């Protein structure tokens, strides 16, 4: 058996510390890589601007629906929503309770998320899409 303070014990102690350091460093590197991968795996939220009347409650349901489906809504209450719609080019027959701007398009009313996603993916040469009125059953 080697005596305390002998070169054999010192070498074992050094190797033990080296292995421990390597193990810790490897663990840190693996954890760091996993965290970076996890951050990269999160889909980027799509920003949308939603303009609505302060008195409308169904608009907030649609906003929550869009948020749950990968969008990042910024909501603005607008006292004269009709004037804003006119400014944005929304014709009266397509008008609904809220108007949304997303990716250079106008989305009017309770448009299903799949339709908005398709619009943004295909990028047709149109001003936007609309679901006139207040069809809240699409939120189910």
pLDDT at residue 16, as a whole number: 56
Q: What is the DSSP letter of 94?
A: G
User: Is it the case that residue 68 has pLDDT exceeding 50?
Assistant: yes
pLDDT at residue 70, as a whole number: 97
Work out the percent of the chain whose per-residue pLDDT is above 70: 66
Task: Please state the rounded mean pLDDT for residues 8-28.
Answer: 58
Rounded to two decimals, what is the model's pTM?
A: 0.67
Task: Encode 86-123: b = buried (16+ Cβ within 10 Å), e = exposed.
Answer: eeeebeeebbbbbbbbbeebbbbbbbbbeebeebeeee
pLDDT digits (tens, 9 = 90+) for 100-128: 999 999 999 999 999 999 999 999 999 99
pLDDT at residue 77, as a whole number: 96
pLDDT at residue 138, as a whole number: 46
pLDDT at residue 11, as a whole number: 58
Of 28 and 52, the one with more pLDDT: 52
Work out the percent of the chain whose per-residue pLDDT is above 90: 59
Q: What is the DSSP letter of 110?
A: S
């Amino acid at each position: 058996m080697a005596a305390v303070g002998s070169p054999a014990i010192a070498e074992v102690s050094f190797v033990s510390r080296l292995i421990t350091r390597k193990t810790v460093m490897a663990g840190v590197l693996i954890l760091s890589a996993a965290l970076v991968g996890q951050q990269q795996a999160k889909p980027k939220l799509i920003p949308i601007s939603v303009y609505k009347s302060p008195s409308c409650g169904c608009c907030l349901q649609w906003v929550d629906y869009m948020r749950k489906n990968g969008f990042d809504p910024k909501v603005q209450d607008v006292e004269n929503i009709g004037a804003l719609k006119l400014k944005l080019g929304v014709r009266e027959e397509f008008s609904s309770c809220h108007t949304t701007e997303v990716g250079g398009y106008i989305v009017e009313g309770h448009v299903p998320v799949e339709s908005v996603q398709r619009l943004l993916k295909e990028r047709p040469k149109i001003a936007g899409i609309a679901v006139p009125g207040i069809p809240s059953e699409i939120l189910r």
